[in-house]
A and B are shown apart, each in its own frame.
Chain A
């Protein structure tokens, strides 16, 4: 189906990433946001609070991020498309409810506008230091989807994609922005509602009594019901069976947790979105994501100007990590360079995929600003030697 025109601000705009992400959420059909202010993400909820009364829906500023993240989950079972928005310290508080969202298969979107950490760190300055936290920060085994925009236009586009993937797979989906992308203003084109594809929630067609809320369809994803539909569903954060009832045995744990993780793991190749530029035949391939990909691309252009064969692979989907494709690219080059605004996070995934076939060089940065392109260029030159 296509987007509800009520939420779509069709036109050409000059927006920052935070505002664009909010418009993406409205276009995607998000009608419920529970948030808590935190720099540099606050503009997303400020805009939502401004816009939603005229679109039809609810914004509520909760008392903390624990509340914001679980109020959102309550609204899922009330039937809404939902989102919450935060940055590092708030994300840390939301980790328990990431787990609850995951185990209860609640479709929802978390926007994380990354800033320097740990702790209060650099509230107004960028980093890409939460990339591992979203994947590993909640306890237990889990898989999420994380999209990484590098422009306000992508903040709009990928927020819609995040909502669609959340509905398709019934997993929490992250939009991993950073302070630069969040506060960078550029042209954002919002198409007509009829040109925006929306994935609807997969409601059960079964009658009360026949419906089992966690009985998966062939793709591993169960159909949903909401409270008030007459199904008398039970939803618990405990390990549960197909009926949703607590089932606290190793066998039921194995069955449930494998199904949940396999929804994503088995589809990792299909979910991958890598934008490759001149990777075939390259001597060095730069693997980057988010704002760093824009900084890296200026370094790549300079390296090419010096006659080097340099490819650039930008991860638009960081999780699930595109292991297959990165492993293939490693067979096509002599070295890989991974710049990121942290002291080494996704580089570990690259190295795992490359499995020693070629050297992988990290261009790290503790955060607070973006790399100087020259530092990335130097690493490319060094790797090419």
Chain B
């Protein structure tokens, strides 16, 4: 039975938790799988560091935390430094390449970067950086389906911002697909 543990890390205000919500919704509501989202909740989650843990699995999720993620998504260098030691030896790192420089990457880890901030700026709103990352995650991993992710996205963003967010998602998705060599 497949189970994927995901850790998303970044800064407060980057939309880290919303990224987790979209992935969790996509898997559990639109892909018919199970998902559990845990958000880091504490003084450290206010203002600066912020993180979410998402488990996506075929079977119901028992243990809710992600101790050693299969996939680490980082949008800040602090998050990279903090969470890279927890990533599984053969894990997958997805990072915002203008904000994170993956130093001392463990040898078994596969890493893919994306200029998500620049893409978001090109679309006119730096704020959609997180949605670019969600698309990137979907494109690289396939853990959530494209259809489910788009539905989850549309049900999670404010009215009037749907097309902006959908564009952000698709740019990230396509970038991801091209990096893993998908058609």
Contacts and interface: CB of A to CB of B under 8 A. Distances in A.
Interface of A: 12-14, 16, 40, 124-125, 179-180, 183-187, 291, 294-295, 297-298, 301, 369-370, 373
A186 B36 contact: yes
Interface string B20-46: 110011001100001111110111010
Interface residues of B, number: 22
Contacts of B39: 183, 185
A301 B62 contact: yes
A291 B25 contact: no
Contacts of A185: 20-21, 24, 36-39
Contact of B28 (A186, A297, A369): A186
Contact of A180 (B21, B25, B29, B38): B38
Nearest to A125: B42
B34 A294 contact: no
B21 A124 contact: no
B64 A291 contact: yes
Contacts of A16: 37
Contacts of B45: 124
Nearest to B41: A124
Given A14-B28, A183-B38, A294-B63, 7 more contacts: A14-B24, A14-B37, A16-B37, A124-B41, A186-B28, A295-B63, A298-B62
B133 to A, nearest CB: 18
Task: Name, among A12, A14, A291, A294, the residue most crowded by chain B CB atoms within 10 Å (CB to CB).
Answer: A14
A187 B39 CA distance: 15
A124 B42 contact: yes
B62 A187 contact: no
B35 A186 contact: yes
A359 B123 CA distance: 65
Contact of A370 (B28, B41, B42, B64): B64
Nearest to B33: A187
13 contacts: A12-B29, A14-B21, A14-B24, A14-B37, A14-B152, A180-B64, A183-B39, A185-B39, A294-B61, A295-B63, A298-B62, A298-B63, A301-B62
A124 B39 CA distance: 11
